[in-house]
Amino acid sequence: MIAANRIHQLRDEIRRHEELYYMHAAPEVSDADFDALMNELKALEADHPDLLTSDSPTQRVGGRPAEGFATVEHLQPLLSLDNAYNDDDLRAFDERVRKGLAIETAPVYVAELKIDGLSIALTYDEGRLVRGATRGDGTRGEDVTANVRTVKAIPLSLKHGPAGRFEIRGEVYLPKQAFARMNQEQEAAGEPLFANPRNTAAGAMRNLDPALVAKRGLSAWMYQVVGPEGAGASKDAPLHAQMLRDLKAWGMAVEPHWQECNGIDAVIAFCDAWRDQRHDLAFETDGVVIKLNDVAMRERLGTTSKFPRWATAFKFPAERKIAMLHRIEVNIGRTGAATPFAVLEPTVVAGSTISMATLHNPDDIIRKDIRPGELVIIEKAGDVIPRVVGPAHPEAADRPAPWVMPTDCPTCHSPLHKPEDEAVWRCENSSCPSKLRRGLEHFASRGAMNIEGMGESLVAQLIESGLVKSLADVYQLTAETLEGLERMGQKSAAKVLREVDKSRRNPVWRLLYGLGIRHVGERGAQVLADHFGSVADIQAASLEELQQVHEIGPVLAEAVRTWFDEPRNRELIARLQAAGLTLTGERKVAPAGPQPLAGKSFVITGTLTSMSREDAQATLEALGAKVTGSVSKKTTALITGAEPGASKTEKASALGIATLDEAGLLALLDSPS
């Protein structure tokens, strides 16, 4: 069939041009010629829909926003890396490796530039991309497949890749040029600038509209293959260097500056060379990742609960510059915390212009003897967060007068208070506009009520216009009032109101977190919601009852009790309930009485038929057991379902750890002891 042949030819040609452009920066055709090829393919697929496949280059950009992101389990936990900050740390790492392997000779390492982006896990099945997931908590991540498909550096199908189902790990990042373009667009629109490429890339990848993600210009580098149950490499790639070559041969983008290093001295030389060279790259990097080249040696070393013993991340030292400190101002946060910050002469540090920097608290300013009106040393911690290190010339005789912490709130002019046991001053006025503004930003944030569109600019207008004087006022907003605000047309107003309405149905824990109760983070909010089930029951709980909840300590319990004891906060809850928000959920409390499996630890591998692995874990935990993702000497037993992971069963056998099949698990749950 002529159409089928032409479609196949176009797809191959477009993929080749995408690889040349996005992975090798060596385009052979103009943008217009590339667009012509893509348009021809789109037209042919429209005329022959039966020939359309999911890995066609035309299928990168999704047309509809997703309703949200499901969570998926990784084949193997994405562990963090231990850090090294200097040559001594690197030599100590090398010594631990050689001691663990019982070798005297210098092992071969692979040094790779550490990409400052968002970790991603790509699942390919028979060479086709079927899933993309964020790192998440390391065990489970967000399913962002639709967004991953928009990243042109990630192939939808592999060239001569291995058979079966496996994961490829890497980093999605935002090139410096794309980041600069985005900030230019933000500035032209009068919107706040994005802080740094890493956070912007992470935010883009979690956008619910793939079409918008495609416009960001994200790219990616890949660095690891993970087989079923977390095999470190394919049987044909016993060396990490070979794995990187395989990835490139399959059509994956691999950062080209990696190097095999014979011994730690070669690693140190590589790190030294890239301290300054990194600024010439088209992307941000904040260090070097060092890994053992030999995969069999890695398996012998194993991992801790957090880090692989065979790898470490060397962090480049923060770049320092001298800048004029014009003045010190105070910002009021959502909890009333008064945090001083430095207003600086704009200065380029580590590739970006810094005009403000954190100062932590007044005690820190006094300790460092930082004074407005003089030159100070500034740096970017981890090449991300700007901070003032100290005065550039502390020995000068004509230094300005020391800075004094103001006694009144700079926004509402109420007195600031500082508890004796704390270093932070606070504004206690619950009606303070700054507290309300920061509180509303937090309330609407993705981790809390997730009201998309209610960002800093809109929140500022809502507060300044008097439309919102309480969090509950958000649910009284109308299209007419929103359309009267700057840069808020009919469509934008309608979208915000849809998001506001959708937030009414959020689970209880999101509301608890969004309220901004001091010390209550996402995990604390989830624990409270699971234990009490409703906001009313939390409000009625005594301090003693709160402290009895597992994972809730005295400080958090006191903060919750204090918050609900405030009459204005109870009035807020009543108004939110009247506005139709979800204030009641499902209690998830472990049964009262003894927990017969307390102190025991289990690992589950394979597929269970009588229940899901999640249900098995929940049941074991309700009986007091701990369920982990990896086998260790502390594991009580390995629970195996169908097709269990070879690495886990082999390790359990080597350590002499008992193994339970599904029948054994059911017997244990029936009669735990």
Q: Which of 99, 114, 248, 651 is catalytic?
A: 114
Structure tokens at 450: 């997730």
**Residues 6+ away with beta carbon under 8 Å from 99:** none
Q: How many CB atoms lie within 10 A of CB 166?
A: 18
Residue burial 292-311, b: 16+ Cβ < 10 Å; e: rest:
bbbbebbbeeebeeeebbbb
Alpha helices in 533-566 (DSSP H): 535-540, 543-547, 554-565
Backbone angles phi, psi at 476, to 5 degrees: -110, 0
d(CA 146, CA 298): 34
Q: How far apart are CA 231 and CA 224, in angstroms?
A: 11
CA–CA dist 670, 386 (Å, integer): 56
Distance in angstroms between the alpha carbons of the first and the last residue of the chain: 68
Of 665, 551, 533, the residue nearest 609 (C-alpha): 665
The 10 Å Cβ neighbour count of residue 662 is 18
DSSP states along 424-478: -EEE--TT-HHHHHHHHHHHHSTTTT--TT--HHHHHHHHHTTS-SSGGGGGG--
What is the Cα–Cα distance from 205 to 208, expressed in whole angstroms?
8
> How does 521-532 read in b/e, with b if 16+ C-beta sit within 10 Å?
eeebbbbbbbbb
505: tokens are 């149905």
114 carries an active-site annotation: yes
CA-to-CA dists, residue 205 to 113, 123, 151, 155, 662, angstroms: 22, 16, 10, 17, 38
Q: Return d(Cα 126, Cα 166) in angstroms, integer.
A: 9
Bridge partners of 222, per DSSP, are: 170
As a whole number of angstroms, the distance between CA 96 and CA 109 comes to 14
The token pair that represents 106 in the structure block: 């210098």
Q: Which of 215, 203, 210, 211 is nearest to 455 (CA)?
A: 203
Instruction: Select from 275, 302, 280, 425 the least CA-distant residue to 360.
Output: 425
Strands (E), 144-284: 165-173, 219-226, 259-262
Q: 254, 276, 286: which is closest to 116 by C-alpha?
A: 286
3-class DSSP string for 287-346: EEEEEECEHHHHHHHCECCCCECCEEEEECCCCEEEEEEEEEEEEECCCCEEEEEEEEEE
Residue 356, amino acid: M
Q: 65: how many CB neighbours lie within 10 A of its CB?
A: 14
Contact by Cβ (8 Å): 255, 115: yes
Backbone angles phi, psi at 522, to 5 degrees: -60, -45
* C-alpha of 70 from chain center: 15
What letter would DSSP give residue 401? P
DSSP 3-state of 631: coil
Residues known to be catalytic: 114
